[in-house]
Amino acid sequence: MSEYFRIPTTGAFGDPIDENPSGVMMEAGYRSVGLDWRYQLFQVPAEGLEDGLKGIRAMGFAGLNLTIPHKIAAIPYMKGLSKSAELIGAINVVVVKEDGLYGENTDGKGFVSGMEANGISLKGKRIVLLGSGGAARAISVECALAGAAEITIVCRTMAKGEELADLIWEKTACIAKAQLWTSGVLLPECDILINATNIGLYPDTNVPDICYDCIKENMIVQDIIPNPAETPFLKKAKELGARTLDGQSMLVHQGALGVELWTGRKPDIEAMKKALREAF
C-alpha cells in the first residue's frame, strides 16, 4: 500500500484574522493546478510572531501570508527579501526554503497584474493615489517599477506621503509628489485614480472626500477595497463615465502570485475569483 496522507499546508498569520476570506480563494487556486493543498488562518498576536515563524519552518509549511500586524515586524526574521519588498519595507508573502525564510510583497504586484489582465499598461501613466498606508506604498512602488511616469500621493498625513514620494524619486525613474488631502481636494489631471484608503470598507458607506469633477470620462478608477466589490466610490466613478476596477481583482491577482511562488504553477484566476465572490 502506498497511500500518502500528508497534505502540504500553507496559511496566513494575522491579528485579527477571523474574517479574512483568503482560504477559499487560495484553495480554489490549488485545486485549479491539481493540488490538494490546505490554507489555514492562524490568529498570531504580535508577540507570537517569532515562535510562529520558527514553527512554520519546523513543520515544513509550503508558504505563508502575513497581514496586520506582521507585515513589517517579520522582516528581521527573513534570510532575504525581494527587490520590491526591500523598497516597500513590508512583506505579505513568506517563501520557505531549505536555508531559511524569504520575504516578498505581492500587494503592489497584484495591483499591476490585475491592471495588465484588463489590458491596461502602467507605462507612461499619470497616477493619483489616495492614501499613504501600507497598500499605497506597495502599489506606488510597483507602479513606478512598471514604468509609470508620475505618481501623486494625496494624503492627510503629509510626512508619510512625502517619505513615500522621496523613496520613489530616489529609487525609480518615476516622478513622485505628495499633496495634502483637504476636504473636496482638487486632484491633478491623471490617467489612473486609486483609492488606497480604508474608506468604503464594509460596513462603511462613505466615499473619499475629493472633488468629483476631477473624474473624467475614460479615466481608470480603481478601488482596492475588496468588500464590497462595487464600493460607493466605484459606483460614483462609473456614473461619471470612468472605467472602474474593483479590489477583488487585485486581491485575486495578489493571491495567485502567492500560489505561483509556493507551487511553481500558475493558478486559474477565474476559479479563484469565483470562490472569492461566493465567500463575500
Q: Kindly write out the interface string for residues 102-131 of this chain, putting x where it contacts ligand NDP by CB under 6 A and - elsewhere.
A: -----x--x--------------------x
What's the CA gap between 90 and 226, in Å, rounded?
20
Q: Kindly write out the interface string for residues 151-170 of this chain, putting x where it contacts ligand NDP by CB under 6 A and - elsewhere.
A: ----xxx--x----------
- Marked catalytic residue, from 54, 71, 160, 177: 71
Residue appearing with cell numbers 509550503: 62
Q: How far is the CB of 85 from ligand NDP (least distance, A)?
A: 14
Smaller CB separation from ligand NDP, 183 or 218: 183
DSSP code, position 229: S
Q: First CA to last CA across the chain, in angstroms?
A: 42
Contacting range for ligand NDP; rule: CB under 6 A; set: 26-34, 77-85, 150-158, 233-241: 150-158
Does 234 contact ligand NDP by CB under 6 A?
Answer: no
What's the CA gap between 154 and 210, in Å, rounded?
10
Does 247 contact ligand NDP by CB under 6 A?
Answer: yes
**Sign of the Cα pseudo-torsion (205, 208, 212, 215, in order):** negative
Q: How far is the CB of 70 from ligand NDP (least distance, A)?
A: 12
What's the CA gap between 30 and 124, in Å, rounded?
35
DSSP secondary structure letters along 76-91: GG-SEE-HHHHHHT--
Q: How many residues bind ligand NDP (CB under 6 A)?
A: 24
What's the CA gap between 83 and 88, in Å, rounded?
9
Selection from 218, 210, 203, 144 nearest residue 180 by Cα: 210
For ligand NDP, which residue of 82, 197, 244, 263 counts as binding (CB under 6 A)? 197
Active site residue 54: no
Q: Hey, which residues are catalytic here?
A: 71
What residue ranges bind ligand NDP (CB under 6 A)? 107, 110, 131-136, 155-157, 160, 181, 197-199, 201, 224-226, 247, 250-251, 254
